[in-house]
Amino acid sequence: MTCSVDNSNKLAFIDDALTERAKMGHLRTLQSLIPQNAVSVVKNGQTLLNFSSNDYLGLSKHPALIKGGQEYLNRYGTGATASRLVVGTYDIHQQLEEKLAKLCGKEAALLFNTGFQANSTIIPALVDKKSLVLCDRLSHNSILQGILLSGARWTRYKHNDLGHLDTLLKKGISQGYNRILIATETVFSMEGDQSDVDGLINLSQKYNTLLYLDDAHALGIMGEQGMGLTAYKSGIDISIGTFGKAFGSFGAFITASKQMCNYLINCCPGFIYTTALPPAIIGAINAALDLIPTLDKERSYLRQQVNYLQNNLRKLGYQVINSDSPIIPVIIGDETKALKLSQYLEKYKILATAIRPPTVPPNTSRIRLVLSSQHTKEQINYLIDILKKWHEH
């Protein structure tokens, strides 16, 4: 007896998936924007104040980054032409890695093309089906994808609950795993709150585990000279940083020991089989790296505005997650209401995206407000006034 495939209906699963998403109110579409400056964009012909960008220091439009990118573009061309292990390692790649390691107070650094690529391919190079991974319940999807690809046994500990993590570590140690990995973010992308980095280091050392920290949303705005919450700290096996947020560019990197970097150069598919970052990107990152340590004034202003906005939103009766980062989630709960608030804000020329499940847990839909050091006090007060009108209407 032979079986046949109904090729006339081979894409039915796509229609089914999109129909189901639409039915649940989860269907997404792309919205085209034209950036004007660090804090404004044009959408459908209307200029909007942007309170959704991760450009925390406004560096994506900084003349020094543009100049740095142009200089490397003119000198090295448009592409690196191959993977790092073939002919894609230019002198500028290695120079940038050395500079990153030094400024982060670490032994070595290694460039990756994106944070998602790094998390989803490094973790499977560290653990396997005989391993255990313990991650924070609210860890980024890229960390979860890496864990799933590894085939490791995994458990999520309660958000920022090191007591629960300690309990899981005690249990895991007795179960004969070949290694245990703790993986989490330092600043959570949807919550804006922080991990206890020192507490995680202590637990990792207590149980002799691997410690993997994604520092993407802290890099540039927190830590010594703005180099993140993992900078100059020992006891972290791998720290991830990205350049698409406070650095205003694109790409990612890790800091680790030379031994770990050599291991990943040889054993991480996401590094081995990917064309290296293009020269213009390296030039922009290099320029940002010169600027970041000098921006203490901007970081101080940003912290002040974060506190100011949070306090005012609470006075208005909004539920705001306590955050020391520029990420200020305003919890609405209901998905439809969150979307309506986003649309209301856009009516008043404010771009503030609604974040809904499955990106966040059910019944926690929110407006994820994000501040930049380039937002003026007047612009922030305008946002507060419009949110006050919504709350009262």
Q: Any catalytic annotation for residue 202? A: no
62, 93, 106, 217: which one is catalytic? Answer: 217
Q: What stretches of 85-162 adopt beta strand conformation (E)?
A: 108-112, 132-136, 153-157
97, 214, 298, 335: which one is catalytic? Answer: 214
- Cα separation, 240 vs 187, whole angstroms: 12
142, 150, 189, 325: which one is catalytic? Answer: 189
Q: Any catalytic annotation for residue 54? A: yes
Q: Any catalytic annotation for residue 16? A: no
CA–CA distance from 333 to each of 177, 213, 328, 373 (Å)? Answer: 39, 29, 15, 28
Pairing of the two strands 327-333 and 365-370: antiparallel
Q: Both ends of the chain: CA-CA distance in Å?
A: 68
CATH number of the structural domain 28-57+296-392:
3.90.1150.10
Residues 6 or more apart from 54 whose CB is under 8 A from it? 217, 244, 245, 246, 370
Residues 6 or more apart from 284 whose CB is under 8 A from it? 65, 66, 68, 69, 72, 248, 249, 250
- Helix (H) or strand (E) run with residue 94 in it: helix 91-104
185, 191, 215, 335: which one is catalytic? Answer: 185
- What pLDDT is recorded for position 359? 83
- Percent of residues in the chain assigned helix, strand, coil, to nearest 5: 45, 20, 35
245, 323, 325, 372: which one is catalytic? Answer: 245
Q: Any catalytic annotation for residue 189? A: yes
62, 93, 106, 140: which one is catalytic? Answer: 140
- What pLDDT is recorded for position 103? 97
Q: Any catalytic annotation for residue 214? A: yes
CATH of 63-293, one of 3.40.1190.20, 3.40.640.10, 3.40.50.970, 3.40.630.10: 3.40.640.10
Domain boundaries, the chain: 28-57+296-392, 63-293
53, 54, 204, 312: which one is catalytic? Answer: 54
- pLDDT by residue for the chain (393 residues), tens only, comes to 555 556 678 999 999 999 998 888 788 889 899 999 999 999 999 999 999 999 999 999 999 999 999 999 999 999 999 999 999 999 999 999 999 999 999 999 999 999 999 999 999 999 999 999 999 999 999 999 999 999 999 999 999 999 999 999 999 999 999 999 999 999 999 998 999 999 999 999 999 999 999 999 999 999 999 999 999 999 999 999 999 999 999 999 999 999 999 999 999 999 999 999 999 999 999 999 999 999 999 999 999 999 999 999 999 999 998 888 999 999 999 888 999 999 999 999 999 999 888 888 888 899 999 999 999 999 999 999 999 998 766
- What pLDDT is recorded for position 131? 98
Read off the tokens for 69.
């990118």
Is residue 308 exposed (0-12), middle (13-18) or buried (19+ Cβ within 10 Å)? Answer: middle
